[in-house]
């Protein structure tokens, strides 16, 4: 089930997610804003196609034959524990990492064989919210958001300023142009990163761990914004996360990565109903039983191998 942003479930804690947002921002989030709305793309078929993708770093095999099609206009969430290759997978979509084997297509154009200059027009159409937001510390909020416009458009300064103002308003940060990233809270910084990811009106946005490290209320603001921007701008979204609550909120479809492969792919209700033990463990947020046993034994001093836990214990 995908929870509608304005349903009671979406706001079960009774918190006003847009508390402090001015009326204009609230209105903009009500899917009525016009200036940024693009007609939904008319083309059919998947927007991204990944075939038999393999990627290793040294002897570590990270992606081991991924096949994936990303449906247009939907939010696909890629789940998996830390270190399973979720970020590596996203980077392949924009050609930041080249595969050892396999093929990556965006809008039927093969991406993985393109040169850096040939990738520029593709990157213009794909917004990327990097892990932890990755704002430029020495640039103001306005300069951070304008950065893709400076890089990729001929816009004059006043037009850029209007675009910056527009997306800042969309994420509830009207008037923050001249502040520096360090002056903002973690949640506000993520909202700026989100604004920067959509300022070029991309048709696809890649979100890398958009809610990681945020408290549940602030995480939910980001979830709501992802939903609102996806719908308002007709965007296709790929959200990479290990936050199952966030995934439940935004996903039309969930994909679970495990040991370099897709082990589950379907609607959220289908994934939740999976009888695969690894899938269940992940969505219930449980550690592997054998890992728990290792930790218990280590603390009890029964482990044969020296562990971090033993080293951390004071000398008797």
Ligand X SMILES: Nc1ncnc2c1ncn2[C@@H]1O[C@H](COP(=O)(O)OP(=O)(O)O)[C@@H](O)[C@H]1O
Out of 29, 53, 68, 85, the only residue in the binding site for ligand X (CB under 6 A) is 85
Q: Are strands 204-208 and 126-129 parallel, antiparallel or unpaired?
A: parallel
Out of 45, 83, 121, 175, the only residue in the binding site for ligand X (CB under 6 A) is 83
Taken in order 31, 242, 96, 52, the sign of the CA dihedral is: negative
Shortest distance, position 213 Cβ to Mg ion, whole Å: 12
Please list, in sequence order, all residues whose beta carbon lies within 8 angstroms of the beta carbon of residue 52, skipping any fewer than 6 positions away: 65, 66, 67, 101, 102, 103
- H or E segment and range at residue 207: strand 204-208
Taken in order 224, 30, 71, 96, the sign of the CA dihedral is: negative
- H or E segment and range at residue 77: strand 75-79
Should residue 80 be labelled a site residue for ligand X when binding is judged by CB under 6 A?
Answer: yes
Decide whether 232 or 241 has the Cβ nearer to Mg ion: 241
Out of 29, 53, 88, 145, the only residue in the binding site for ligand X (CB under 6 A) is 88
Q: Given the structure tokens 């033993």, which residue do they identify?
A: 310
Q: Is 156 exposed, middle or buried (0-12, 13-18, 19+ CB in 10 A)?
A: exposed
- H or E segment and range at residue 126: strand 126-129
Q: What is the DSSP letter of 31?
A: I
Site map (CB under 6 A) of ligand X, residues 49-78, x = contact: --------x--x-x----------------
Shortest distance, position 64 Cβ to Mg ion, whole Å: 17
Question: Which one of Mg ion, ligand X, none interacts with residue 83, CB within 5 to 8 A by kind?
Answer: ligand X
Decide whether 87 or 169 has the Cβ nearer to ligand X: 87
Site map (CB under 6 A) of ligand X, residues 107-146, x = contact: ----------------------------------------
Out of 76, 87, 140, 236, the only residue in the binding site for ligand X (CB under 6 A) is 87
Shortest distance, position 50 Cβ to Mg ion, whole Å: 17
Q: Segment 60-89, which members bind Mg ion (CB under 5 A)?
A: 87
Shortest distance, position 56 Cβ to ligand X, whole Å: 9
Out of 14, 20, 82, 290, the only residue in the binding site for ligand X (CB under 6 A) is 82
CA distance 66 to 85: 11
Should residue 86 be labelled a site residue for ligand X when binding is judged by CB under 6 A?
Answer: yes
Decide whether 57 or 299 has the Cβ nearer to ligand X: 57
- H or E segment and range at residue 56: strand 48-57
Binding site for Mg ion (CB under 5 A): 87
């Amino acid at each position: 089930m995908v929870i509608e942003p304005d349903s009671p479930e979406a706001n079960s804690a009774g918190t006003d997610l847009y508390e402090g947002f001015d009326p204009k921002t609230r209105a903009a989030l009500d899917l009525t804003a016009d200036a940024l709305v693009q007609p939904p793309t008319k083309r059919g078929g998947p927007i991204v196609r990944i075939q038999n993708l393999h990627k290793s770093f040294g002897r570590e095999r990270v992606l081991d034959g991924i096949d994936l099609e990303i449906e247009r206009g939907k939010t696909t969430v890629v789940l998996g524990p830390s270190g399973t290759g979720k970020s590596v997978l996203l980077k392949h979509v924009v050609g930041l990492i080249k595969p050892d084997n396999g093929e990556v297509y965006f809008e039927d154009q093969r991406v993985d064989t393109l040169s850096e200059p040939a990738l520029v027009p593709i990157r213009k159409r794909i917004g990327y919210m990097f892990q932890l937001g990755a704002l430029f510390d020495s640039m103001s909020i306005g300069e951070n958001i304008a950065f893709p416009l400076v890089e990729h458009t001929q816009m004059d300064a006043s037009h850029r300023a209007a675009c910056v103002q527009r997306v800042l308003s969309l994420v509830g940060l009207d008037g923050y142009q001249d502040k520096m990233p360090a002056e903002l809270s973690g949640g506000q910084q993520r909202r700026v990163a989100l604004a920067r990811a959509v300022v070029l009106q991309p048709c696809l946005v890649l979100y890398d761990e958009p809610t990681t490290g945020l408290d549940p209320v602030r995480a939910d603001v980001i979830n709501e914004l992802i939903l609102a921007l996806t719908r308002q701008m007709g965007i296709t979204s790929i959200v990479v996360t290990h936050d199952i609550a966030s995934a439940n909120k935004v996903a039309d479809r969930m994909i679970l990565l495990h040991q370099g492969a897709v082990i589950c792919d379907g609607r959220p209700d289908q994934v939740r109903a999976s009888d695969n033990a690894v899938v269940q463990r992940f969505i219930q947020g449980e550690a592997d039983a054998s890992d728990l046993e290792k930790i218990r034994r280590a603390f009890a001093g029964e482990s044969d191998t020296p562990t971090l836990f033993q080293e951390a214990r004071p000398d008797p």
